[in-house]
Amino acid sequence: MSTVKANTIENVAGTVSVLVEDIMTKTNSPMGYKIVDFGTVVNNTRTVKDNPFGNDKWESCIAIAQVYDNGMWSGTGFISESYGYGTSANSNLEGIVVQTGDGSVLRTSFLTGSGHGMHATVTSAPCRVIVYYMGEEIV
């Protein structure tokens, strides 16, 4: 099992010090992230916003949706039963896409793996997407 502690990677074989700048130089791939505000989302909606790194960079982006509830930002997980529950984000040629479940944007954590804790089903909440980029140049 490996753990990361401030530029040091420890595993059963020993300790290796790594600088992020060294990784970027060796891979020739800058890394970065930006947060895209989606305002308040409601259940059963699909919203598209421009990719902050450029819509043509979608293959080099990972998008993670978070909603604000119970005093914190966290991912919601997603489950599909008779209805879909949760909020997901993806990057494609259109931009950054947020899709909410037709049942709710957030459901109790034991069903979806949400980080929000146990509470009632939520049908609207503030949403943001963290867009991670690793590619040839950061815009």
Distance between CA 114 and CA 99 in Å, rounded?
A: 16
Distance between CA 32 and CA 29 in Å, rounded?
A: 10
pLDDT at site 1: 45
pLDDT at site 116: 76
Q: Low-confidence residues of the chain, pLDDT below 50? A: 1-11, 13, 15-18, 20, 23-27, 139
Query: Do the beta carbons of residue 91 and residue 129 sit within 8 Å?
Result: no
Q: What is the tens place of the pLDDT at every residue in 33-48?
A: 999 999 999 999 999 9
CATH 3.60.15.10 is held by the domain 30-134: no
Distance between CA 87 and CA 102 in Å, rounded?
A: 10
Q: Is the dihedral of CA 104, 108, 114, 115 positive or negative?
A: positive
pLDDT at site 7: 46
Q: Which residues neighbour 135 within 8 Å (Cβ) at sequence distance 6 or greater?
A: 29, 30, 53, 57, 60, 61
pLDDT at site 137: 57
